[in-house]
């Protein structure tokens, strides 16, 4: 590596390793946030062109992070006092059928390191005899972590959950009968009634029934581009016209969408007078990863109907205290000038004349219009180029301190339409000089934090995902169906 590359490499390694090892650090999003910030800063300084540089960065960070987490888990859950050092780490990994990442070659891959099983038709962790396979190191760590958390103090055996766990798993399809669903629902409602501080962590599955594209996974393409590659400051600096056309398309989809029954249920749970029906002495905050604004619209609609008023949807300070949009908002526009930084809410359609009609060109073969920067959205205060008010890769989340405080005191966490486990992504385009993403997603950590603190976790999702073993209650099916049925909130107060 050249000198700038070496400097960046050392800075990243130092950042990943310097944090003190503690129970909290295994779920600390700041570690990865600092890594991304340093990487973006060094990237701007060095402008490397070779793809091997990015691979070196990613391998080092993934390797160090997974080693850290294994060591913490050993100290907390499986001392194995007759062994020391790396022997303890490897022994713990073998006990749960995992391969200890012993070299940087065990990197985060685009594909999953899982294969089907009778219990999990879609997901199950790779067995230990996959010695020659490159595993997702963070995924392996999480499997060890969630199993240790679940079985610590509960059982002295290693086993996977199964459909016989009636009190923990329920679904609205034929895999389990109605009596099992009822038992799980009763247990959940009892926990809900005793809760004092409730949070809900929502993801793309919440808005799926409203027709909002998720742009996640293998099908996450817009035109001929991987949609994830357009969600970065580097992409905007390189081609603001393309990025604005992408977000204009998303704005138009969100403007045409309406909240579904799951949005409405969470909005009802946000109203103290209605929440008293099921959780009489509780607080509630929704933490959403979605940027479509449908949760705000749902909350506004519910409040308006209760008050008999009809006004334009907006985000008041009172609503914001019950809802945190951690990834920002599609309908916020932010000035790119460092001396201005003005932010405003803008639901104008189209947001500027030059973008009109571009939302209809979404196919891979669509002809791309190169809109001059002067015709793109501008700051209403200073006239500089404006950008979408969403959180891009490499940028800090919205209200991180408030989220951490809420998670720390929560005794019940509802996970709606997203995974409750840690996820690691690598998004790297060969031949491109930009590392799009390496992260352990903070939103996936919150349920685990609540669990670690002694709280309950209830997952509402379309299908099983890794990490569901941590859930005290698991409801499988479309969120717009299962959430209203389980919460069973009445509008009459």
Which residue ranges are tagged as binding site?
A: 203-222, 247, 250, 289-292, 335, 340, 379, 382, 417-419, 461-463, 479
pLDDT at res. 55: 53
Gap between the Cα atoms of 149 and 154, Å rounded? 9
Mean pLDDT of the chain: 69
Q: Which two tokens stand for residue 264?
A: 């409405």
Residue list for the binding site for Zn(2+): 335, 340, 379, 382
Q: 220-256+329-390: which CATH topology?
A: SIR2/SIRT2 'Small Domain' (3.30.1600)
- Rounded distance, CA 278 to CA 488, Å? 9
pLDDT for 484 equals 93
Q: What letters, b where the CB count within 10 A reaches 16 and e where it falls short, cover 174-209?
A: eebeeebbeebbebbbebbeebebbbbbbbbbbbbb
pLDDT-above-90 percentage for the chain: 35
Q: Of all residues in the chain, what percent carry a pLDDT higher than 70?
A: 52
Tens digits of per-residue pLDDT, 31-77?
455 555 555 555 555 544 445 555 555 554 454 444 444 444 444 44
- The answer to whether residue 297 scores a pLDDT higher than 80 is yes
Q: Per the structure block, which two tokens stand in for 297?
A: 């619209």
Lowest mean pLDDT across 25-29, 377-381, 449-453: 25-29
Question: Looking at 106, 135, 300, 327, which residue is catalytic?
Answer: 327
Half-sphere CA count of 458, side-chain side, radius 13 A? 28
Known active-site residue 327: yes
Residue ranges of the domains in the chain?
A: 3-151, 165-212+260-327+397-425+435-493, 220-256+329-390
Residue with tokens 């070496």: 6
For CA atoms 386, 390, 393, 395, give the dihedral sign: positive
pLDDT digits (tens, 9 = 90+) for 372-417: 999 999 999 999 999 999 999 878 889 988 998 999 999 999 999 9
Contact 463, 93 (CB under 8 A): no
Least-confidence region, from 80-89, 127-136, 394-403, 473-482: 127-136
What pLDDT shows up at residue 76? 42
The Cα–Cα gap between 306 and 47 comes to 56
| 3-state secondary structure (DSSP) of residue 125 | strand
pLDDT at 3 over 80: no
Q: Which CATH superfamily is domain 165-212+260-327+397-425+435-493 in?
A: TPP-binding domain (3.40.50.1220)
* Alpha carbons 135 and 137: distance in angstroms, whole number: 6
**pLDDT for residue 237 is more than 80:** yes
pLDDT of residue 33: 55
Annotated binding site for substrate: 247, 250
Tokens found for residue 393: 């890769």
Helix 178-194 to helix 479-487 angle, to the nearest 10 degrees?
60
pLDDT for 129 equals: 39
Distance, in Å, from the CA atom of 375 to the CA atom of 369, rounded to the nearest integer, reads 12
Binding residues for NAD(+): 203-222, 289-292, 417-419, 461-463, 479
Burial 282-314 (b: 16+ CB within 10 A, else e): bbbbbbbbbbbbbbbbbbbbbbeeeeeeeeebe
Q: Among 9-23, 163-177, 288-302, 465-479, which stretch is predicted with the lowest mean pLDDT? A: 163-177
Residue whose token pair is 């009968």? 177
For 251, which DSSP code? H
How do residues 190-217 score in pLDDT, each as one tens digit? 999 999 999 999 998 899 899 998 766 4
The string of pLDDT tens digits covering residues 242-289 is 999 999 999 999 999 999 999 999 999 999 999 999 999 999 999 999
Question: What does the alpha-carbon distance between residue 188 and residue 341 come to, in Å, rounded to a whole number?
Answer: 45
């Amino acid at each position: 590596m050249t000198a700038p590359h070496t400097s960046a490499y050392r800075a990243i390694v130092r950042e990943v390793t310097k944090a003190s090892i503690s129970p909290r650090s295994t779920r600390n999003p700041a570690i990865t946030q600092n890594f991304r910030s340093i990487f973006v800063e060094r990237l701007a300084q060095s402008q490397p062109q070779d793809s091997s540089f990015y691979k070196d960065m990613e391998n080092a960070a993934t390797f160090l992070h997974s080693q850290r987490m294994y060591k913490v888990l050993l100290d907390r859950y499986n001392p194995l006092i007759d062994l020391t050092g790396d022997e303890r780490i490897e022994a713990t990994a073998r006990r749960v059928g995992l391969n200890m990442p012993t070299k940087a070659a065990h990197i985060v891959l685009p594909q999953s390191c899982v294969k089907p099983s009778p219990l999990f038709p879609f997901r199950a962790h790779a067995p230990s005899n996959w010695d020659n396979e490159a595993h997702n190191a963070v995924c392996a760590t999480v499997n060890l972590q969630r199993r240790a958390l679940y079985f610590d103090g509960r059982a002295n055996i290693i086993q996977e959950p199964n459909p016989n766990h009636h009190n923990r798993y329920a679904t609205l399809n034929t895999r389990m009968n109605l009596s099992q669903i009822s038992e799980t629902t009763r247990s959940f409602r009892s926990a809900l009634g005793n809760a004092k501080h409730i949070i809900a962590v929502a993801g793309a599955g919440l808005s799926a029934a409203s027709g909002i594209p998720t742009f996640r996974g293998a099908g996450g393409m817009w035109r001929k581009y991987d949609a994830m590659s357009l969600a970065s400051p580097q992409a905007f600096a390189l081609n603001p016209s393309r990025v604005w056309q992408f977000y204009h398309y998303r704005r138009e989809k969100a403007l045409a969408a309406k909240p579904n029954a799951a949005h409405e249920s969470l909005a009802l749970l946000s109203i103290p007078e209605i929440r008293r029906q099921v959780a009489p002495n509780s607080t509630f905050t929704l933490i959403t990863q979605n940027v479509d604004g449908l949760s705000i619209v749902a909350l506004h609609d519910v409040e308006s109907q209760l008050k008999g008023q009809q006004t334009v949807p907006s985000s008041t300070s009172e609503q914001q205290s019950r809802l945190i949009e951690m990834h920002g908002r599609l309908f916020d526009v932010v000035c790119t000038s460092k001396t201005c930084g003005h932010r405003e809410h803008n639901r104008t359609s189209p947001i500027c004349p030059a973008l009109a009609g571009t939302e209809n060109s979404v196919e891979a073969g669509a002809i791309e219009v190169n809109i001059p920067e002067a015709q793109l959205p501008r700051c209403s205060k200073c006239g500089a180029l404006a950008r979408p008010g969403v959180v891009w890769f490499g940028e800090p989340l919205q209200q991180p301190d408030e989220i951490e405080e809420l998670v720390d005191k929560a005794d019940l966490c509802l996970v709606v339409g997203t995974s409750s486990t840690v996820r690691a992504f690598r998004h790297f385009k060969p031949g491109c000089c930009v590392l799009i993403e390496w992260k352990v997603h903070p939103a996936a950590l919150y349920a685990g934090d609540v669990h670690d603190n002694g709280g309950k976790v209830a997952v509402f999702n379309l299908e099983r995902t890794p990490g569901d073993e941590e859930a005290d209650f698991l409801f499988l099916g479309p969120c717009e169906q299962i959430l209203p049925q389980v919460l069973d909130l009445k509008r009459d107060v």
